[in-house]
Amino acid sequence: MADLSLVEDILGECFREFKIKDSNDLGSLYSVCKLYEDLRYSLSSCDAQVFNDTAVMTGRAISNISHDLKRSELFKSLDDISMVKNTPNMELFFLGHRGGLCNRLRAIASLKVVARCLEIPFNFSWSETKMCVGGTLPTKCFASRVDSLIYRKICGLSEPIIEDESLTPWVYYKKYGHLLKISSWAEFESLYRVESAALLEELAKALSLNEEFFSFIEEFKGSGYLAVHVRRTDFVNYFKEKFPNGYLPSLDDYFCYIEKYYSTGYIFLSTDDFSVRSEFEKVFPKRLLTFDFAFDKSEARQTSFTHTVLDLLALTRADILLPTPKSSFSEYAASVSGGDVIQLWEF
């Protein structure tokens, strides 16, 4: 257990450094960023409660530093690629401090494709925020540190091209496809799917989830299963506002498809809504599979970081996947899926 009074002292020192920093002074940015990164690094092996109590605070500060870097004239973005093309030591770096889990994963996989096509190295950071806390994710095993990016820039070891937008693969392709040595969206999407699958495996390995996952599916994988992702809670109002003419499938839509086309066999459910799981349990009491975790029955999103990754693993290995439209989680699962993806709103 970490000494929380010591943690508070370090956070206080970080905050004081952060208040006096000059966003155009890379030395100042490096010193304060290193304080926060060292704290997060030391806490990554602590229990989840200690880590979560501090991760969002440190993540918020690193997010602010990331904003400074993105605005700084000392760093370039992909929009400036014509100005820096063929620059020695050029690398692409994604500042992961915006959006939820799958928004970030989609952006990382997309930018990995961009970096591969440009034949330059790629790295990314991962800052815990309220939208993506991340549990006790050891950054040393999964992502780079922002302070290392700044240090390499100061020492002239790297000329980073930095991005921090969690965009969809299609938007990245539309913005930067002309820079790449590929001829079509189909080619970009094919490369993206490979990177998406590899990234999910990397994340599962970093969280030591592979053994737990394979133990869970061992008894029924031989007969195959259908997987359903039903996103509700805060997503419902978002969907109505963003896609007023769109169709969000009802639970009856999922039930009808399953009863008509998958009348036997196991059904894996991934959902953020307690009432959804309850309804599925009523309709398919002996066929339903879920990772067991407690809901507090509120209207807030329920899934933890670990269970989210476990759900992704299960969704992507199903024979049939029924996703939720416009959900980044569903879209990421569909991009990695080895089975048939059925879009109920088009069915």
To the nearest whole percent, how much of the chain has pLDDT over 70?
A: 86
What pLDDT, on the 0 to 100 scale, is given for residue 302? 41
What pLDDT, on the 0 to 100 scale, is given for residue 16? 84
Q: Which two tokens stand for residue 19?
A: 């208040």
pLDDT band at 99 (very low <50, low <70, confident <90, very high): confident
CATH architecture of the domain with range 210-341: 3-Layer(aba) Sandwich (3.40)
Q: Within 13 Å of residue 56, how many CA atoms lie on the same side as its CB?
A: 9
Q: Are 196 and 339 in contact (CB under 8 A)?
A: no
What pLDDT, on the 0 to 100 scale, is given for residue 324? 96
Give the burial class of 245: count Cβ atoms within 10 A of its Cβ; 0-12 exposed, 13-18 middle, 19 or more buried. exposed
Q: Where are the domains of the chain?
A: 4-206, 210-341
**Separation of alpha carbons 140 and 308, rounded Å:** 21
* pLDDT tens by residue, 145-168: 999 999 999 999 999 999 999 999
pLDDT band at 184 (very low <50, low <70, confident <90, very high): very high
Q: Which two tokens stand for residue 200?
A: 């999910």
**Separation of alpha carbons 195 and 113, rounded Å:** 7
Q: Which two tokens stand for residue 346?
A: 């088009």
To the nearest whole percent, how much of the chain has pLDDT over 90?
A: 46
Phi, psi of 321 (to 5 degrees): -120, 125
What pLDDT, on the 0 to 100 scale, is given for residue 100? 86
pLDDT band at 301 (very low <50, low <70, confident <90, very high): very low
What pLDDT, on the 0 to 100 scale, is given for residue 192? 97
Whole-Å CA distances, 231 to 263, 268, 322, 323, 329? 23, 14, 11, 9, 9
| pLDDT over 90 at 36, yes or no | no
**Separation of alpha carbons 167 and 104, rounded Å:** 8
| pLDDT over 80 at 131, yes or no | no
Mean pLDDT score of the chain: 85
Q: Is 125 helix (H, G, I), strand (E, B) or coil?
A: strand
Instruction: Tell me which of 134 and 281 has the higher pLDDT.
Output: 281
Q: Are 321 and 221 in contact (CB under 8 A)?
A: no
pLDDT band at 48 (very low <50, low <70, confident <90, very high): low
Instruction: Find the distance separating the first CA and the last CA of the chain, reported in whole Å.
Output: 52
What's the one-letter identity of residue 156? G
**Separation of alpha carbons 326 and 200, rounded Å:** 20
* pLDDT tens by residue, 221-275: 667 899 999 999 889 999 999 999 999 999 999 999 999 999 989 999 999 888 9
pLDDT band at 47 (very low <50, low <70, confident <90, very high): low
What pLDDT, on the 0 to 100 scale, is given for residue 41? 78
Count the neighbouring beta carbons within 10 Å of the beta carbon of residue 251.
16
